Structure 1
Amino acid sequence: MKNFTLFKRLTLQSFLLLLTIVSLFSCQKTEPSDTPTTSLRVINASPASATYNVYLGGTPINTVALPFTGASTYKSGLPGAYSIKFTTANSTESLFSKDISLAQSIYSSFYLLNKPGQLDGLLTTDDLSIPDASKAYIRFINLAPDAATALDLAKTGSTSALISNKAYKAISNFIAVDAGSYAFDAKETGGLTVKATLAGAILTAGYHYDVICAGLSNPANDTERPLTLQVIKIQ
């Protein structure tokens, strides 16, 4: 009788094991294959008081209209050719559009540039690799349309540049820096003149940051933003 009970127990265990294996194979058969993706974030560096909504291929990609130096988080989608469109916060009428191409498995950033009526855009690929997780990573971008000279990025009070000689629309590679609190200056390349400064920028290890110089050296009115230095966490 004990042997018969043991046999029943083993038979039940075998059946449950077989059922589990069949279920696993069934799940594997119905799982879809990996879909190719691309990721895009958008930054408003237009030196104006206006805020903008952004559409990619007709689909909105921001939930709140982007103010000056405002940035969206990465949005993922299928790689390919798209039209990116900017509108005011209260209208779907295009103020500026541009055709862009987004590659597979690539992170990209698109910067809206210049004043209303002269809007322009800049697309760049983002290398988000982290060779050293104890470091933070920064890149410097000159997005000041009326900057008379190229710009350097330096720590406040330092005579040497962290990143040098960036003309309008120029983007540096990422460099590794120690995590912590920073004060930065944007200086004229080859000179001592400070064009913009920023204090209290907190950089966290393992993250990437844009340090952008945006705005106008000579704003014409209160609706135009003066030159400023901003740190934007990339996410």
Structure 2
Amino acid sequence: MKKGFSIQKTILAAGTLFTILIFTSCLKTNDNNNSNTPVAGLMAFNLSPDKSAIGIALSGNNLTNTALAYTNYTGGYLSIYPGTRSVVAYNAGSGTSFTASDFTFNEGKYYSLFVVGADTVYRNVVVNDGLDSLPSASGKAYIRYINAIPDSSQPLVTVSDNANSVISQNAPFASVSGFVAINPGNANIAINNNNNIQATRSITLEERKIYTILFAGIPGAADTARSVKIRYIENGKLKEDSAAQQGVSVTAPRSVKIN
């Protein structure tokens, strides 16, 4: 049986509180308005510190109508056509593409696209998030990371709760870890190369919620807006009913700043 979950994100925009829910159902896609179409889910991030506003296109169709500023993302999983698609990131002002790749999206699966890099060297990092394989065991949250800091070093990434270390590994640029179970409550996160990449942060995790940690910024940057920081988002929340079917619902495309 497939695991069921809801995707949930609460944001504050223009003084109004929005709750974005992506839950189990049969949906339309963001590629057009046809209903009852097989879909996959895609969440996209701009983690390129020298790209102030980017667009994302899949096989020539825009993923959103809103440009993603640096450290912004789509705010949730958007439904797309499955199959092998060309994934293009382009400068929102000029429309000039700066990185492109092909990826195969499978029906009913959830994916993340991280646009990373700097100084003319960029790449699309697309991963299958595997949300349907996470057990909704009582008492656990789930966490992973991406190292989007453009640097040749392999800094040490550590993540621990109040009792245990759950991640301790060197992370090359553009690497994405798998989700690991962690106790809810305080999570202590650090990245360190004993030189120009050193950052720590503590966040509070909730039971059955799924989190992605984003290490981003330029090592040694004088501009604090682009210095190395630890950010995070909530991918969603596992449902207690593990027998529920999975799926996504359409959410309004938008650009949401990462925590």
Match of 2:61?
Answer: 59
* Residue of structure 2 in register with 1:142 after alignment: 147
What's the CA shift string for 1:98-141, capped at 9, x where partnerless? Answer: 22221222211111011152121111110212331432110122
Q: Secondary structure at the match of 2:56?
A: strand
Write the distance in 1 (CA, Å) between the matches of 2:192 and 2:52: 27
Residue equivalent to 1:125: 128
How far apart, in 1, do the equivalents of 2:188 and 2:217 lie?
19
| Paired position in structure 2 for 1:217 | 219
Choose from 165, 170, 174 the match for 1:165.
170
Residue 103 in 1 paired to residue 106 in 2?
Answer: yes
CA distance in 1, matches of 2:210, 2:152: 25
Which structure: greater strand fraction? 2
Residue in 1 aligned with 2:247? none
TM-score by length of 2: 0.66
Amino acid aligned to 1:87 = Y
Pick closer, same or farther for the CA change 1:90–1:49 going to 2, 3 Å: closer
Q: 1:94 aligns with which of 66, 90, 97?
A: 97
Compared CA separation, residues 156 and 132, structure 1 to 2 (3 A): closer
Aligned to 2:234: 233
Structure number with greater Rg is: 1
Shift of 1:161: 6.2
Q: CA deviation at 1:178?
A: 2.0
Higher relative contact order (CA 8 A, sep 6+): 2
Q: Which residue of 2 aligns with 1:14?
A: none
- Distance change in 2, residues 1:74/1:161 (3 Å): closer
Q: Percent same amino acid among aligned pairs?
A: 26
Q: Which moved more, 1:38-47 or 1:90-99?
A: 90-99
Pair 130,64 (structure 1): closer, same or farther in 2 beyond 3 Å: farther
- Relative to the length of structure 1, the TM-score reads 0.72
Is this contact kept in 2: 1:48–1:224, CA < 8 A?
no
Alignment gaps of 5+ in structure 1 = 1-32
Q: Structure 2 vs 1, CA of residues 104 and 160 (structure 1 numbering), >3 Å: closer, same or farther? A: closer
> What is the CA RMSD across the aligned residues, in angstroms?
3.2
